[in-house]
Amino acid sequence: MTFFEVLTEAINYFMEYGFNSEKSLEEWMQKIKIAAIQSMIPEYQVEQEMVKSMTAAYNRLVVKGGLVNKNVSKYDIERLKPKLRLELDRRILVSANLIKLNRQESISNTLRRFQGWATSIPPGGTELTDRNKTKKDIKKSLSAITFEQRRVVIDQTHKLVSNINDIVAVDNGAIAAKWHSHWRQVNYDYRKDHKERDDKIYIIRNSWADEKGYLKHPNGYTDEITQPGEEVFCRCNYQYIYNLSSVKELLTTKGEKALQSAKITFK
């Protein structure tokens, strides 16, 4: 029997007989739980999709050289591979736990809704309940679980990409980062404070330029705000900055002198 069929039978039973014993309630809840689990996409399939998505992102950035640019060489990526691989493994483990917890929570919410409804029906039953509405309310969490599981995969993959970019940038001497929000994207549920950060530059604390006193920090440091992808379903990202000439508006007098000196040196 499908989950919907089991739930229909359970609702029909309590509408006819009402809540008349703990034993009958436990039996129906067990039947609903089994049917709910069977109705879900198998956990191993969801985890396979998650591993595939994250490994593809890792391969694109690390293995195929997606991170290589004028500031980051292939040698730099090779040197960082063990650390980046650990980040991939860590993110896969976190995601697997999240998927498992979401499934358990969905089933628990479904059972809790059913129990709350069933125990409200007096012995002898009732005809006052809207059966279709009751079914819809009880199975609400379960109906959304497939969508939520896929959102977890997308969200955790974005977090992986964000963390890999951060590791590489900081290791290779990035001095600041410009925040990019996707608030202009149609139907994107952006956070208001993330929109307000758009195009603002944040200084990386203890970078070589920060330690030398070359930079002002009117917007603060990157470690004083949540990071791109840190909050649930955030799709923001950083554009990392490596040289003083890219942040002229943030240079202190000392920084301006250092930049000018560098220009003279390389003439």
| 3-state secondary structure (DSSP) of residue 139 | coil
Let me know how long the chain is: 267
For 19, counting Cβ atoms within 10 Å of its Cβ (0-12 exposed, 13-18 middle, 19+ buried), the class is middle
Q: Token digits for 210?
A: 């920060």
The 10 Å Cβ neighbour count of residue 95 is 24
Q: What pLDDT is recorded for position 265?
A: 56
Is 19 in contact with 120 (CB distance < 8 Å)?
yes
Q: What pLDDT is recorded for position 41?
A: 87
Nearest CA to 151 out of 96, 53, 233, 55 is that of 233
| 3-state secondary structure (DSSP) of residue 172 | coil
The secondary structure of 249-266 as a DSSP string is: GGB-HHHHHHHHHHHHHT
Q: What pLDDT is recorded for position 16?
A: 93
Q: What pLDDT is recorded for position 267?
A: 45
- Tell me what percent of the chain is helix, strand and coil, each rounded to the nearest 5: 65, 5, 30
Mean pLDDT per 10-residue run, the chain (267 residues)? Answer: 93 93 95 94 90 96 94 95 96 93 92 95 86 88 83 92 96 97 92 97 97 96 95 94 95 94 62
Query: How far is Cα 77 from Cα 60, in angstroms, rounded to an integer?
Result: 12
Is 176 in contact with 250 (CB distance < 8 Å)?
yes
Q: What pLDDT is recorded for position 15?
A: 93
| 3-state secondary structure (DSSP) of residue 202 | strand
SS (H, E, C) 213-231: CCECCCCCEHHHCCCCCCC
Q: What pLDDT is recorded for position 266?
A: 45
Nearest CA to 80 out of 164, 176, 183 is that of 164
**Cα 129 vs. chain centroid, distance in angstroms?**
39
Query: How far is Cα 241 from Cα 174, in angstroms, rounded to an integer?
Result: 5
Query: How far is Cα 36 from Cα 47, in angstroms, rounded to an integer?
Result: 18
Is 201 in contact with 143 (CB distance < 8 Å)?
no
